[in-house]
Chains A and B, each alone.
Chain A
Amino acid sequence: MMNHKDFQAIYMLWLRQMKRFLRTKSRVVTTIVQPLFFLFILGFGLNIAVFPGMQGSYITFLAPGIIAMAILFSSMFTGVSVLWDRQSGFLQEVLVAPVSRLSIVIGRTFGGATVALIQGFIIMIIAIALGVQVAGVGGFLLTVLIMVLLSFTAVGFGLILASKMRDFEGFQSIMSLIIMPLMFLSSSFYPINESLPDWLRVLSFCNPLFYMVDGIRGSFTGINSVLDPLVDLGIILVICIVVMGLGTYFFNKSEV
């Protein structure tokens, strides 16, 4: 199973992600600024709108969704960036090393999750500065746990995509055709309740991202969540294990 060398490999792959992230200034800036645009523009733009059954200000409602979005995009990018490594040839260097495939996946996942969490926390701090109330210490810790699981899931999903694609052409269409609809159906921007058409609600409940956003909202702000955050957590855990498992499986199977 895992030995000393595998832990070294996990650490090294994590460290590499950190260094790469900090050295690509443009990535640091875009991944933080883009969600902030959503938070500020949508947040203030829709603050006067009244949604039936919504408690608190619109920014309080929106912030958990934006935190989830920042983590989702950043983590998915980490998963898909295996493609970069494949094209630049660096993946060969990693795959030919005498370490288990599992430790390679874990190292990349931890690296991606760390970067994503840093971004998530920055959004969180700004949201608090904008007046979003934190529900409590317990709620905060549960939020962090869900953020970690969301990040793992998104890296796993990125790995699945990377193993199925040979170039980046497909990545853009997957972002527009799959990720954007999932974002809109995740309750990030408007509450999911009886006032919506049935088909839209059913679609939302089929959306894995819905439980992540709902869980963060329920634990972080303590209001407006559809399900109990702990129920969300259970569902998220199952989704995370399945997606990470598939991601590892596809990564193992892919040849260079």
Chain B
Amino acid sequence: MDIIVTTNLTKTFNGFTAVDRITFSVKEGEIFGFLGPNGAGKTTTIKMLTTLLYPTEGSASIAGFDVLKQRAQVREHIGVVFQEPALDTELSCRENLDFHARMYGLSAETRKKRIIEVLTLVDLLDKKDVLVKNFSGGMKRRLEIARGLMHSPQVLFLDEPTLGLDAQTRRAIWEYIKQLNKNENTTIFLTTHYMDEADFLCEHIGIIDHGKIMVMNTVDVLKKSVGNDVITLVCSDSSALIQRLSQESWISKITPYGSFLTLGVERGEEKIPVIFDIARAVNVSISSIDVRKPTLDDVFLYYTGRRIREQTETVVNRTIKSPGFHPRRRR
């Protein structure tokens, strides 16, 4: 059964189209990911699906309820972890969860039980009476995820769940998400601009750029569509080489990017000598070359003509250099 269905969902802000007629569906019990750079329209889509923004055009339904006409029922079936922190920092960890639980009408018994369960899950049980303003970015994020799970929603929306977290916390959160999906059969809709995150978590992904879905499929199919192997090279005259290589039928796709040239091929290691021969024949010298299995980054480049990585690289570097620090990037 399709638990999320959208038809031509559109949102314009003062003439700027943030989300442009997107149509997709998510099956019950799966982890579905929206992959795209910042400003692609991911958060706007989540806000429309969670009844926080009114769509300009089109329609959407969650668990069979229309997001425009049955807002209360939609809200009862979903949990949301927002990209921006949405905690009351003047309240303690437990008070934030208690607030949430009462807003969702949980009984006193269930509240107590669930608070302990979810805090154990995110490893914050010993911090339950600490005011949230004293939490680090990573702790706040974990608390927010715990809160999203409090009322055992049918669909959980996660907007950039690990944005700016350190590598260790990201891993842990990924594990929680997987467990939750498996144990409570929660459908998960997440947005991310991290390739590895989408790769690790999602069965289906949609690549979104400039408010449009460029392609939607399983991660495996998407990677295969690029080619079995990807060859990346740097050469002295890429236009001459592109011209010559485009005559070769064994290259599924040639994508120039800066000084790089990316080729989708079968059995890449055997093609390297062939490419060298061709380059020599047209008087082009190759200064570096490598062959690897396609990643989602290659998929992204293939379908959008640009790389998602350029904006995220700085964050990744910072995370690796200072594992004890919990950076959290905010708009």
Interface residue ranges, A against B (CB under 8 Å): 4-5, 8-9, 11-12, 16, 19-20, 23-24, 88-100, 255-256
Contact = CB atoms under 8 A, between A and B. Distances in A.
A244 to B, nearest CB: 22
Interface stretch (B51-59, B240-248, B302-310): B51-59
A97 B73 CA distance: 10
A4 B75 contact: no
Given A12-B103, A97-B103, 17 more contacts: A16-B99, A20-B88, A89-B85, A92-B80, A93-B86, A94-B103, A96-B50, A96-B51, A96-B75, A96-B80, A97-B75, A98-B72, A98-B73, A98-B75, A98-B103, A98-B104, A98-B105
A256 B52 contact: yes
Nearest to A23: B90
Contacts of A256: 47, 52-53
A99 B106 CA distance: 13
B131 to A, nearest CB: 8
A8 B53 contact: no
B77 to A, nearest CB: 9
Nearest to B78: A96
B76 interface: yes
Given A4-B105, A8-B103, A16-B88, A92 B95 contact: no
Contacts of B95: 19
Q: Chain B interface secondary structure, helix, strand, loop or mixed? A: loop
A8 B106 CA distance: 10
A12 B99 CA distance: 6
B235 interface: no
A215 B1 CA distance: 63
B72 A19 contact: no
Sort chain B's interface into a size bin.
20 to 34
B32 interface: no
B91 interface: yes
B75 A90 contact: no
Given A19-B91, A23-B90, A256-B47, A96 B52 contact: yes
Nearest to A97: B103
Interface string B70-102: 001101101010101111111100010001101
B161 to A, nearest CB: 15
A5 B82 CA distance: 23
Contacts of B51: 95-96
Contacts of B147: 93
A180 to B, nearest CB: 29
Given A9-B102, A12-B103, A94-B103, A88 B72 contact: no
A221 B84 CA distance: 51
Interface of B: 47, 50-54, 72-73, 75-76, 78, 80, 82, 84-91, 95, 99-100, 102-105, 147
A12 B102 contact: yes
A19 B86 CA distance: 17
19 contacts: A9-B102, A9-B103, A19-B91, A20-B88, A23-B90, A88-B85, A88-B86, A89-B86, A92-B80, A92-B86, A93-B147, A95-B52, A96-B51, A96-B75, A96-B80, A97-B104, A98-B72, A98-B103, A99-B103
Contacts of A92: 52, 80, 82, 84, 86
Given A12-B99, A97-B75, A98-B72, A255 B54 contact: yes
Contacts of A19: 90-91, 95
A92 B53 CA distance: 11
B38 to A, nearest CB: 17
B80 A16 contact: no
A214 B84 CA distance: 46
Contact of A93 (B47, B72, B76, B100): B100
A94 B72 CA distance: 13
A8 B52 contact: no
Contacts of A100: 72
A89 B82 contact: yes
A11 to B, nearest CB: 7
B324 to A, nearest CB: 26
A19 B102 CA distance: 16
A9 B85 CA distance: 21
Contacts of A4: 105
Contacts of B100: 93, 97
